[in-house]
Structure 1
Amino acid sequence: MSQLFSKKNKEVFSAPLGMNNPVTVQVLGICSALAVTAKLEPAIVMGLSVTVITAFSNVVISLLRKTIPNRIRIIVQLVVVAALVTIVSEVLKAFAYDVSVQLSVYVGLIITNCILMGRLEAFAMQNAPWESFLDGIGNGLGYAKILIIVAFFRELLGSGTLLGWSIRDMIVYIFNDKLHFNLNLPENWVYEHGYLNNGLMLMPPMALIICACIIWYQRAKHKELQEN
């Protein structure tokens, strides 16, 4: 058990969440970060989908790594990823159809996600299944983390909602249902106090700008990430 959660394995799992994040440090998976982050719910679902697919494709390729001929390794990797993407897509259609419609073709395009192919080629082909599983989970969650942060600001500032809840509804729910206060706020309370939705936040370029701000913050905070 101690070997499963050794210091090295913990580093494999935790590095993509921070100092080696696939989006902000490796600058991979940017396209989907721009496309699916206008709302928080599809961003969460996309992040979890990529996490599951990355983890299990890493495991499968790691198990097969010694039997895959080098000349067809990319084809085998694509077949494994495509099979897992198809399974995830069908599960979403069955249990979360509305979100599946919002994600549209982007679930299928997970097949071409640079993070997936990068981890399979750079890690799973050289490491054991458990380490590959941790690497897949870590990189998937690192990707999901950035998507959720970007989607949080885009939906909140662009639509005035979070997960479809208006700001007013969230305040009433927290104070009345959870803290047992008795707030009585009018429906347009937030907007009556000067709040305006910023339509620019719902446009793809704003996702790129938010990603750039996260990259700037991370590199300003960690000097070792700065280029000489």
Structure 2
Amino acid sequence: MSKEIISNSIWKQNAGLVQVLGMCPVLVVSSNIVNGVSLGLATSLVMLLSGAAIAAIRQFVPNELRSPIFILIIAALVTVVDLLFNAYAHGLYVVLGIFIPLITTNCIVLARAEAFASRNSVWDSALDGFFMGIGLTMVLAVLGGMRELVGKGTLLSGIDLVFGPAAKAWTIYIIPADMHYQFLLAILPPGAFIGLGLLIAGKTAMDKRAAAKAQLERLPNAVPNH
């Protein structure tokens, strides 16, 4: 069961590439790896805790009050995450801005609460929530890396906002900084649409290839022996 949940969350039902949910943060925050991964991990934490909490109380919540109670739990957890960002990563907190509080209204979080956590055990709900968030984080990381590399010629820019000024040396310059390279199409939202489209197309092609390979492997077994 756990392996199936992880496989569905990360690949088969990936929130960013298959369900195409939470597009606002995916398209806006994925301008670089650090921003995308930071918001993705914050979302994963909220989904893990909210999934476990909702599964634990699901038997006591009337159907008429499910949505407001679920939103209240999610909002409380997002407030905690928002305060932690403000306290321990203030620079990143300023950069991410409104998108941390907006986790409360993210379609992915409430959708998994309704579709999974309200019907399954605490452990399975926590696992599903966490890996749904990790699946989204992976999309944000790859998309952010693509946009940052093409748009600014760097990787891990802004890492000092997470680990302090000393971490600024960790930024990788694929194109030397003194060239002042910048490709605005990749950095701005249109670049996010193009990049996400390429990722969805790549995943679709991989799935089709895997399905065709599996079908070919079954063919000999389907041919009767004479």
TM exceeding 0.5: yes
Instruction: Say whether 1:206 aligns with 2:191.
Output: yes
Task: Give the counterpart letter for 1:207 in structure 2.
Answer: A
Aligned pair in 2 of structure 1 residues 169, 18: CA closer, same or farther (>3 Å)?
closer
Task: Give the counterpart letter for 1:204 in structure 2.
Answer: P
1:146 to 139, 143, 155: 139
Structure 1 gap segments, 5+ residues each: 1-7, 173-185
Aligned pair in 2 of structure 1 residues 78, 225: CA closer, same or farther (>3 Å)?
farther
CA contact (8 A) 2:33 2:155 kept: yes
CA contact (8 A) 1:50 1:140 kept: yes
CA displacement, residues 3-41 of structure 1 (integer Å, 9 cap, x when unaligned): xxxxx1111022221122111111111111011111221
Percent of pairs with identical residues: 33
Task: Give the counterpart letter for 1:127 in structure 2.
Answer: N
Alignment match, 1:37: 30
Cα RMSD of the aligned pairs, angstroms, is: 2.6
TM-score when normalising by structure 2: 0.83
CA contact (8 A) 2:29 2:96 kept: yes
CA contact (8 A) 1:13 1:137 kept: no
Q: How far is 1:137 from its partner?
A: 1.0
Separation in 2 of the partners of 1:47 and 1:170? Answer: 21
**Equivalent residue pairs, number:** 202
Separation in 2 of the partners of 1:100 and 1:157? Answer: 25
Q: Give the secondary structure class of the aligned counterpart of 1:21.
A: coil
Aligned pair in 2 of structure 1 residues 13, 169: CA closer, same or farther (>3 Å)?
closer
Task: Give the structure with the larger helix fraction.
Answer: 2
1:22 to 10, 15, 19: 15
Alignment match, 1:170: 172
Q: How far is 1:224 from its partner?
A: 8.9
1:86 to 60, 79, 100: 79
Alignment match, 2:205: 220
Task: Give the counterpart letter for 1:33 in structure 2.
Answer: V
Q: Give the secondary structure class of the aligned counterpart of 1:47.
A: helix
Alignment match, 2:165: none
Aligned pair in 2 of structure 1 residues 136, 167: CA closer, same or farther (>3 Å)?
same
Q: How far is 1:223 from its partner?
A: 2.3
Q: How far is 1:209 from its partner?
A: 1.2
CA contact (8 A) 2:154 2:173 kept: no
Q: How far is 1:187 from its partner?
A: 6.0
Alignment match, 2:111: 118
Separation in 2 of the partners of 1:105 and 1:171? Answer: 29
CA contact (8 A) 1:168 1:187 kept: no
Separation in 2 of the partners of 1:224 and 1:20? Answer: 18
Q: How far is 1:72 from its partner?
A: 0.7
Separation in 1 of the partners of 2:177 and 2:41? Answer: 33
Task: Summarize the alignment of residues 41-120 of structure 1 with structure 2, pairs less than 5 Å apart.
Answer: 41-120=34-113
CA displacement, residues 119-178 of structure 1 (integer Å, 9 cap, x when unaligned): 000000000000001101110000001011111011121122222289997379xxxxxx
TM-score when normalising by structure 1: 0.82
Separation in 1 of the partners of 2:76 and 2:124? Answer: 22
